Amino acid sequence: MFVHDVLIVGAGLAGMRAAVAVPSHLSVGVLSKVHPVRSHSVAAEGGINAAVDPSDSWESHLYDTVKGSDWLGDQDAIEILCREAPGDIMALERMGALFSRNAEGGIAQRNFGGLGFPRTCFVADRTGHALVHLLYEQLLKRAAQVYEEWYTTALIVDAGVCRGVVALNLLTGEIAAIRAKAVVLATGGLGRVYSVSTNGLINTGDGMALAYRAGVPLQDMEFIQFHPTTLKETGILITEGARGEGGFLFNARGERFMQRYAPKAMELASRDVVSRAAYQEIMEGRGVDGCVMLDIRHLGRAKILERLPQIYELSKIYAGVDPVEAPIPITPGVHYSMGGIATDIHGATSLPGLFAAGECACVSIHGANRLGGNALMETIVYGRRAGSRAAEVAEGIETSTSAAVADEAVARERARIDRWLAPRTGERIGVVREEMGRVMAEHFGILRSGERMTEGERKLSALRARVPETVLQDRGRLFNMELIDALQLESMIDIAGAIAASATARTESRGAHARTDYPTRDDANWLKHTLAFRTDTGVRLSGRPVTITRIPPAERRY
């Protein structure tokens, strides 16, 4: 029997930071479907934002983030992020983070899109790698119990309170209850709902689906970030740090086309603006083989190898381009989910006992568009806050749930898994998953319209009906990754439905949600969050006001 005071699902930066924040007299468990250092945070490249320079300020960070969010971010949550970020960077440094240095030996900072100050701290272009390994060391020091390669299939809810999870041990096939007084979901993003994405195969929106099925609303799911620079045909991210270090974008005519779209900020406008510009250039025939070009040659070999070593390698290996000698072919691609499990500023969800942090959550820092470098900072600030608050809640509770409730939950999940493993005939899971990815890309992409989205919703409903009829070829119980694919597909089809319904309903263009039939922002009707609830008959939508404390809505220009 597994019992903890606090259980954290997810061992990326948000989950590990949450675990480290739980005081040592409490028992903490951390559960991850992959080894912690393989969590997707390890792929983060360009850096993490904090106003650590004395000539910068948290107020300026706040302003940039609110403007970047197209005024949909909640300003109380953003203020906490910006005020607490410098202290968290110092805490990471004290733990041993080897941030790149400036000429004076201080923490170096680079430009990132939408920032009014070079505010992004970094470890070359491998920031996530450095921080994940750092926090894994802290997790070991904290002596947390790590359930590595365990897949969470459901939350345990006892009398309206979350009291643990049911999880499948991939190695042994065991299905067990892991009981806890408080649970933190830190399960990362959903990029794989789309056919091509910068995200790894593990980013399937599981935590969002777990919460959604337990009645917790998903907030602002229509806001999917398309990153301006992903490597031709692969979806591999080319960090914004490349433009932050001085890289240019140009089209087939050799024009720095950002001049037309964002004459002041140019390549360092916010991501939604640069992505739409690149997309428009390609669509209007000024692309080069379906791409535009990113040029960093003028930075010179030494700087490229010092500041952007990973970009150098990725370009050479995956596009056959040496960026010291030639421009890199890039195209906009799916990258990040601004939306997620709705939480308050302590990471608490509407389900007592359940918290969420990191990319799976929506405390609403990013609103309609995230600024690069703010996601990593969110994992640290809000991971810490969610871990602390979950610990406080756990301290006030005498016992975790009864064994009987846990046993019932395990029996339900065992029946679900047995159904998947039972012999039957039908189509393979991958067929439905690929079709879903294509529908999302074609109907809920960079530019959207009511007609295309309504058609997309119809196609998704048809796909949803096919999911239970799909079959596994591997019926074994040990390390059955096809079974995990099936469970992930169930998560993704739920999440895709929430994205589709939320996007179709929002009849305006704001941040990353750009509609050809409603091309302008409509504050009178849409300065509000979308909340999506799962019901037996489909998605139910409602709204929630945006928290505006300091910066009234204004037109966004770069």
Ligand X SMILES: Cc1cc2nc3c(=O)[nH]c(=O)nc-3n(C[C@H](O)[C@H](O)[C@H](O)COP(=O)(O)OP(=O)(O)OC[C@H]3O[C@@H](n4cnc5c(N)ncnc54)[C@H](O)[C@@H]3O)c2cc1C
**Which stretches does DSSP call E strand in 508-550?**
514-515, 528-535, 538-545
Residue 213 DSSP SS3:
helix
Residue 129 DSSP SS3:
helix
Residue 230 in the binding site for ligand X (CB under 6 A)? no
Residue 48 in the binding site for ligand X (CB under 6 A)? yes
Residue 198 in the binding site for ligand X (CB under 6 A)? yes
Residue 40 in the binding site for ligand X (CB under 6 A)? yes
Residue 11 in the binding site for ligand X (CB under 6 A)? yes
Residue 508 in the binding site for ligand X (CB under 6 A)? no
Cβ proximity to ligand X, 203 vs 509, nearer residue: 203
Residue 288, exposed/middle/buried by CB under 10 A (0-12, 13-18, 19+)? middle
Contact 510, 37 (CB under 8 A): no
Residue 29 in the binding site for ligand X (CB under 6 A)? no
Contact 151, 170 (CB under 8 A): yes
Q: Where are the alpha helices (DSSP H) in 284-344?
A: 300-307, 309-319
Residue 47 in the binding site for ligand X (CB under 6 A)? yes
Residue nearest to ligand X as judged by C-beta position: 12
Residue 228 in the binding site for ligand X (CB under 6 A)? no
Residue 207 in the binding site for ligand X (CB under 6 A)? yes
Cβ 526 to ligand X, closest distance in Å? 25
Binding mask 307-346 for ligand X (x = CB under 6 A): -----------------------------x----------
Residue 303 DSSP SS3:
helix
Q: Choose, by CB under 6 A, the member of 20, 28, 32, 342 that binds ligand X.
A: 32
550 given a catalytic annotation: no
Distance of CA 197 to the CA centre of its chain: 12
Q: Choose, by CB under 6 A, the member of 155, 356, 375, 439 that binds ligand X.
A: 375
**Beta-carbon contacts of residue 493 (< 8 Å; ≥ 6 apart):** 432, 436, 460, 463, 464, 467
Cβ 534 to ligand X, closest distance in Å? 17
- Measured CA to CA, the distance from residue 99 to residue 65 in angstroms comes to 23
- Measured CA to CA, the distance from residue 540 to residue 527 in angstroms comes to 19
Which of these is catalytic: 119, 192, 271, 510?
Answer: 271
- Measured CA to CA, the distance from residue 180 to residue 187 in angstroms comes to 17
Options 358-366, 394-402, 407-415, 435-443: segment touching ligand X (CB under 6 A)? 358-366
- Measured CA to CA, the distance from residue 308 to residue 324 in angstroms comes to 11
Residue 220 in the binding site for ligand X (CB under 6 A)? no
Cβ proximity to ligand X, 311 vs 453, nearer residue: 311
Residue 119 in the binding site for ligand X (CB under 6 A)? no
Tokens coding 141: 């020091």
- In the region spanning residues 142 to 181, those forming contacts with ligand X, defined by CB under 6 A, are 151-152
Residue 187 in the binding site for ligand X (CB under 6 A)? yes
Provide the residue type at 288 as one letter. V
Interface with ligand X (CB under 6 A): 9-15, 31-34, 39-41, 43-48, 127-128, 151-152, 186-189, 198-199, 202-203, 206-207, 237, 336, 358-360, 372-376, 379
- Active site residue ranges: 271
